[in-house]
């Protein structure tokens, strides 16, 4: 069935739709959009985001416990007052429109979104969700981005010799390190870093490194602030690197192994090209290609996978906001954060799709002309 359709031939135009001239003219702009690859995938991305948003809207309300209940329980545990008291106090300090049905809330939310308004927090009435995100997002982007980039680059450069000197001692040591380090979850690495160097060996003051920068500095382009920000990010970044470096090393190694056996590499070697040239221009470039896809995909993941690391190092970013809003069932904040993460995931995937053809000239993404 598959080969009947000649699916591998990508250079064929889709058959022109059999429409009358009038209708064709009518639908022309739409068809143009549909035929335009980039526009189509963008449309698809928007639809994906909308579906996930709607699903999130429903899911957060299906979660057990609503914002009032959650805070009531918290107060009951922490302060030991009676249920009635706690309930009264919390219910009064919220401003939830009790008459609004979920559908009303949904339409309201969508309407606000079109005006780029994410609404206000439920548990902290009056606080704009967008302000919360703006407060926390930059730090996650900074720490996770740095960690991801460093580990990616290190992984690429460490993975290649592993494949090149397959079976050597270097390969064995690096293989062991990479498969072991990824086998330990990042929060355990984080705790071990605090317990070992932090508590036992006292290399640094754990408390002084908490937060995102030192009190009293003005955020901006000045040496003091940047140094302080780097200093505070060092531990989480280091943790991210340890926890994900091995993945890149092993992926790069297996990818390189495949490329090394390709004919063009042998040809290049036979042509007497310098080994360096072969490694960098041929092997490295080609082997790293599939990893770029992986890198873009992992961006969205890593943004939210740092939740526990952010808590452990008290380096609050978007992961903390996500965790916090789930814990107190702050629906609006939660929707805002999930929307952001969804958009990042979807658009990074989109980016991967769009750029893959550019990076690897052999690949023509189907439908692209």
Partner 1 sequence: MFRRILLLSALLCALGMLAFAPVQAQGDTLSVAWPYQVPPTGHFNTFASGGIVLGQYQDLHEPPLAVLMWATGEYAGMVAEEFGWDADGNYVIKIAEGNSWSDGSPMTADDAMATFNIFRLRGDAVWANMTGIEKVDDSTVKFVMSAPSSLTERIILTTNLRPASVFGDIADRAAMMSPDDDGWNGLLQELTEFRPESPVSGGPYTILPDTITEARLMLELNPGGFAGDIQNFDMVQMWNGETEVVTPLVANAELHYITHGIPPTTEEDFANRGIDIVRSGMNNGPGLYVNHAVYPLNLVEVRQAIAYAIDRVQNGFVSLGESGVAVEFMTGMSDGLSEAWLGDDMLDALNTYDHDMMKAEELLMSVGFSRDDSGNWVDDNGDALAFELTFPQEFADWSAAAENATAQLNDFGFDITARGVQFQQHPQDIYASNFEMAIRNWGLGDPIPGRSYLQAYNRYNGQGELAGEGGGAGMNFDNNISFSGGMINVFDVSNASSQGTDASAQAELVSQLAISYNELLPAIPLWERYTNNALNRNFISVPDSSDSVFANFGGGADNWMTYLILTGVTAPADM
Partner 2 sequence: MAGSPMLKLLVSLPLDLLRGLYRFVHRLSTNKPGFVGFLGLLLYFFVTFIMPDFVEFDNEPKLDQIAGPIGSRIQLAVHRDNPQWDSLEALAGKTVGVVDQTGGPSFIEPWRDTLAIEKYRWTSRRQGPGIPAALTDLANKEIDGLLIFSKTVNQVIVEQEDAELRQLFQDNVIISNSTLGPPHLLGTDTQGRDIASHMVHGGQILILTALIGGVIATMIALFFGSLSALAGGFIDKFFTALANLFLAIPQFILLVVLAGIIRFDSTLYLGVIIGLLIWPALLRAIRAQVLSLRERDFVEAARSLGLSMNHIIFREILPNMSSYVLINLIFSITIAMYFQIGLVVLGLAPISDYTWGVMIYFGRSRGTLYNPDGASMALSPVLAIALFQVCLVLFARAVEEVFDPRLRSAG
Kindly tell me which of 16 and 221 has the beta carbon lying closer to partner 1: 221
> At 8, is the secondary structure helix, strand, or coil?
coil
Residues in the chain: 369
What residues numbered 259-288 form the site for partner 2, per CB under 8 A? 260-263
Kindly tell me which of 334 and 346 has the beta carbon lying closer to partner 1: 334
What residues numbered 312-331 form the site for partner 2, per CB under 8 A? 326
Kindly tell me which of 140 and 178 has the beta carbon lying closer to partner 2: 178
> Minimum distance from CB of 202 to partner 1 (Å)?
7
Kindly tell me which of 13 and 218 has the beta carbon lying closer to partner 2: 13
Task: Choose the contact partner of 157 out of partner 1, partner 2, none; CB within 5 to 8 A by kind.
Answer: partner 1
Task: Choose the contact partner of 31 out of partner 2, partner 1, none; CB within 5 to 8 A by kind.
Answer: none
- What is d(CA 131, CA 123) in angstroms, rounded to the nearest whole number? 14
- Using an 8 Å Cβ cutoff, are 244 and 302 in contact? yes
Q: Per-residue DSSP letters for 179-248?
A: HHHTTS-HHHHHHHHIIIIIIIS--S-TGGG-SSS-TTPPPSS-HHHHHHHHHHHHHHHHHHHHHHHHHH
What residues numbered 285-314 form the site for partner 2, per CB under 8 A? 289-290, 293-294, 297-298, 300-301, 304
What residues numbered 43-62 form the site for partner 2, per CB under 8 A? 44-45, 48-49, 51-52, 55-56, 59-60, 62
> Minimum distance from CB of 82 to partner 1 (Å)?
5
Residue 81 has what DSSP assignment?
A: -
For residue 37, CA distances in Å to 31, 34, 47, 365 come to: 11, 7, 15, 10
Chain centroid to CA 251: 19
Task: Choose the contact partner of 119 out of partner 2, partner 1, none; CB within 5 to 8 A by kind.
Answer: none
Residue 168 has what DSSP assignment?
A: S
Report which of 217, 215, 290 is spatially closest to residue 250, judged by C-alpha positions. 290
Kindly tell me which of 178 and 332 has the beta carbon lying closer to partner 2: 178
> Minimum distance from CB of 62 to partner 1 (Å)?
11
Which one of 66-74, 82-90, 100-108, 334-342 is the stretch in contact with partner 2 (CB under 8 A)? Answer: 334-342
> Minimum distance from CB of 134 to partner 2 (Å)?
21
Of positions 212, 247, 332, 333, contacts partner 2 by CB under 8 A: 247
- Using an 8 Å Cβ cutoff, are 186 and 240 in contact? yes
What residues numbered 64-123 form the site for partner 2, per CB under 8 A? 64
What residues numbered 151-210 form the site for partner 2, per CB under 8 A? 166-167, 172, 175-176, 178-185, 187-188, 191-192, 195, 199
Residue 16 has what DSSP assignment?
A: P
Question: What does the angle CA 228 – CA 232 – CA 237 come to, to the nearest 5 degrees?
Answer: 130
Kindly tell me which of 79 and 104 has the beta carbon lying closer to partner 1: 79
> Minimum distance from CB of 123 to partner 1 (Å)?
6
- What is d(CA 266, CA 49) in angstroms, rounded to the nearest whole number? 46
- Using an 8 Å Cβ cutoff, are 324 and 136 in contact? no
Task: Choose the contact partner of 21 out of partner 1, partner 2, none; CB within 5 to 8 A by kind.
Answer: none
- Using an 8 Å Cβ cutoff, are 248 and 149 in contact? no
Task: Choose the contact partner of 137 out of partner 2, partner 1, none; CB within 5 to 8 A by kind.
Answer: none
Q: Secondary structure of 241-258 in the HEC alphabet?
A: HHHHHHHHHHHHHHHHHH
Of positions 36, 66, 74, 257, contacts partner 2 by CB under 8 A: 257
Chain centroid to CA 290: 18
Task: Choose the contact partner of 352 out of partner 1, partner 2, none; CB within 5 to 8 A by kind.
Answer: partner 2
């Amino acid at each position: 069935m598959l080969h009947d359709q000649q699916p591998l031939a990508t250079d064929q135009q889709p058959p022109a739709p059999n429409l009358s001239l009038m209708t064709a003219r009518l639908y022309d702009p739409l068809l143009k959009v549909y035929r335009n690859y980039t526009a189509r995938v963008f449309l698809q991305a928007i639809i994906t985001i909308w579906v996930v948003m709607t699903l999130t809207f429903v899911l957060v309300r299906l979660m057990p416990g609503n914002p009032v209940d959650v805070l009531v329980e918290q107060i009951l545990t922490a302060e030991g007052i009676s249920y009635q008291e706690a309930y009264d106090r919390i219910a009064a300090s919220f401003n939830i429109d009790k008459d609004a049905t979920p559908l009303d809330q949904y339409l309201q939310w969508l309407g606000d979104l079109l005006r780029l308004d994410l609404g206000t927090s439920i548990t902290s009435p009056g606080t704009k969700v967008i302000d919360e995100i703006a407060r926390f997002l930059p730090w996650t982007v900074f720490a996770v981005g740095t960690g991801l980039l460093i580990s990616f680059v290190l992984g690429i450069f460490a993975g290649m010799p592993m494949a090149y000197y397959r079976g050597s001692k270097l390969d064995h040591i690096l293989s062991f390190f990479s498969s072991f380090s990824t086998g330990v979850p990042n929060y355990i690495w984080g705790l071990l870093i605090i317990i070992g160097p932090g508590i036992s060996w006292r290399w640094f003051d754990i408390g002084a490194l908490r937060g995102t920068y030192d009190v009293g500095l003005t955020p901006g382009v000045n040496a003091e602030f940047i140094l302080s920000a780097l200093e505070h990010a060092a531990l989480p970044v280091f943790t991210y690197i340890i926890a994900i470096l091995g993945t890149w090393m092993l992926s790069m190694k297996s990818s390189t192994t495949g490329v090394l056996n390709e004919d063009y590499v042998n040809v290049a070697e036979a042509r007497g090209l310098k080994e360096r040239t072969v490694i960098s221009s041929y092997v490295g470039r080609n082997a790293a290609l599939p990893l770029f896809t992986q890198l873009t995909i992992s961006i969205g993941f890593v943004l939210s996978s740092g939740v526990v690391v952010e808590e452990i190092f008290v380096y609050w970013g978007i992961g903390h906001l996500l965790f916090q809003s789930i814990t107190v069932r702050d629906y609006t904040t939660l929707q805002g954060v999930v929307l952001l993460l969804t958009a990042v995931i979807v658009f990074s995937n989109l980016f991967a799709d769009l750029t893959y053809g550019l990076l690897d000239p052999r690949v023509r993404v189907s439908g692209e002309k």
